[in-house]
Amino acid sequence: MKVFARIGPAVALCVACVACGQGGFLSPARAIPDMRIKNFQSTNYQNGKLLWELAAEESLYFFSENRSVARGIVVSYYQNNKLTATVRADEARIVANSRNIVLSGNVDALMPSGNRLVTSSITWNNHDKVLDTDDPVRIVMSNGDVIEGIGLKANYDLETFELKRRVTAKATETDAIIPNKPHAKKR
């Protein structure tokens, strides 16, 4: 990227880390960013294995607050270099020291299995490799079952998850239900 070549490796590393401060997500009333990058991309590797790729319409960096906000984002998560989830959201922050990703606004995660998660915000915990939120969630399973609740902790591919409270579920209908046969009375 030519932008990185002009601003130097130290600043490029700061932008790639997308560090966050204590100010939270960017709101329209907040300070003007020190740097704006259009069509931003960042990747995270651990021990040579791709963990995630983030693409954003733009990334805003605030030097004095040591934080960045990416807007219009798509994050692809990988396990053993295999795609496990694609998540879209309005905004994202990446915590530099932990490499956690905090997504907010119209979060929509689709897994290769066809399972889908919809919520207003969620955090990718890079150390534990789990998705976590305390917000309302809706999960539509590939078979059409719908599960809703408040709060969620889930693995990479949403095959294993725990809803924290107020859980409801709607199962899809099956073609045939086999009733239990009554036991024959002995004479």
Residues contacting 187, CB < 8 A, separation 6+: none
CA-CA distance, 37 to 93, in Å (whole number)?
A: 15
* For the chain, domain boundaries: 37-170
- For the domain covering 37-170, report its CATH number: 2.60.450.10
Q: Per residue in 114-142, pLDDT tens?
A: 889 899 999 888 788 888 999 999 988 88
What is the value of pTM for the model shown?
0.67
Position 18 pLDDT exceeds 90: no
Which pLDDT does position 1 carry in this prediction?
A: 34
